[in-house]
Amino acid sequence: MPTRIFAAKIELLQAEDSAAWAAIPVTIASDVTAGRVIADRRIRPLRPFAPGRRLVGRAITAWCERGDFGAMLHAMDHAGAGDVVVVDAGGSLETAYAGEILGGFARNKGIAGLIVDGAVRDIDTLAGWDDFSVFARGHTPKGPLSKERGAVNGPIVLGGVAVAPGDIVLGDNDGLAMIPAGDAASLLAAAQQRLGLEEQWVAQLKAGGTLVATFAVPEAI
C-alpha cells in the first residue's frame, strides 16, 4: 500500500505561544499533566541542550512501517519552518530512518527538529548541529530498506503518547512532552502557575523554611 497523506488542518504556532512554551521545562509539563504527555524516556536528544534551551514546535507526524522511511520523507517535504517532524517507527532499531542527508535537508528548510521512535545514523554530524534538534531511541549504521509505505499527518503514538498533527512538541534534556493542541492554552496557564508556585517554594526555603512546612508534609509520629 502506498504512503497515505491525510489532509490535516494544522494551525500555525504563533511566535508568542512558542516563546511561552520555551520557558516551560518538560518537568513542569509532566507535573501539571500527571505525566500523561511524557514520551518514553529512552527517546533522547543526540546533543544535550544548553542550559535553559528547549525544542518547541508544532508536530508534523509520520507513521513508518519497519524498515520503510517513505512517510518520513513526505513529512519532511510537508513540514515548514519551525515545525518538528515526529516519526512513529514502532521503536525499531534494526535500520536507521534518517541521517546526515535528510537531517541536513530538514535543517536547511528551517525545520526545528526531528523525533524518531526508532534509530538514526550519522550521529556525529546530527549531534554537531546546535540549530536542529534530533531525538531518537537509538542508532545503527544500517540504512532503510524501502520508501513506499506509511502515513503522514495522521494520529500516531510516540513512545507511548498519542500525538496528532499540530500538537505542540516540547523537548529538553529531561525528555519530551507532547502537548495536545486543544489543551495547549489551559496547560500553558497551569504550567506558568506551577512555575510561580515553585519560585515561592524556593524563596521560602532560602528564608529558612523547612521542607515539611514548605511542602505541607503531614506530621510524623
Contact (Cβ atoms closer than 8 angstroms) between residue 59 and residue 148? no
**Pair 188, 20: CB distance under 8 Å:** yes
pLDDT at residue number 118: 97
219: number of Cβ within 10 Å: 5
Place of cell 513540514: 79
pLDDT digits 0-9 by tens, 13-60: 899 999 999 999 999 999 999 999 999 999 999 999 999 899 999 999
Query: Mean of the per-residue pLDDT values for the chain?
Result: 95
Mean pLDDT of 5-16: 86
Burial (0-12, 13-18, 19+ Cβ within 10 Å), 120: buried
pLDDT at 7: 82
Percentage of the chain exceeding pLDDT 90: 89
Confidence (pLDDT) at 5: 86
Contact by Cβ (8 Å): 156, 86:
yes
Distance between CA atoms of 67 and 97, rounded to whole angstroms?
8
Rounded-to-integer distance, Cα 78 and Cα 190, Å: 32
**How far apart are alpha carbons 5 and 79 in whole angstroms?**
13
CB contact at 8 A, 91 and 66? no
Grid-cell match 521560602, residue found: 204
Express each pLDDT in 131-186 by its tens digit. 999 999 999 999 998 998 899 999 999 999 999 999 999 999 999 999 999 999 99
Per-residue pLDDT, averaged over 198-208, amounts to 96
Q: Looking at residue 3, what is its pLDDT?
A: 87
Give the number of other CB atoms < 10 A from CB of residue 128: 12
Label residue 2 by pLDDT band (50, 70, 90). confident
Residues 6+ apart with CB under 8 A from 193: none
**How confident is the model at residue 11, as a pLDDT?**
85
What's phi and psi for 166, nearest 5 deg? 95, -10
* 4-181 has CATH 3.10.450.630 classification: no
Integer Rg of the chain from CA? 19
Q: Is the pTM of this model over 0.75?
A: yes
What is d(CA 143, CA 95) in angstroms, rounded to the nearest whole number? 5
Contact between residue 79 and residue 111 where contact means Cβ atoms under 8 Å apart: yes
Instruction: Look at residue 113 and tell me whether its pLDDT is greater than 70.
Output: yes
Q: What's the pLDDT band for 1 if we cut at 50, 70, 90?
A: low
Q: Residue 36's pLDDT is what?
A: 97
Question: Phi and psi at residue 206, in whole multiples of 5°?
Answer: -65, -30
Which of the residue ranges 123-127, 189-193, 217-221 would you say has the lowest mean pLDDT?
A: 217-221
Give the domain ranges of the chain.
4-181
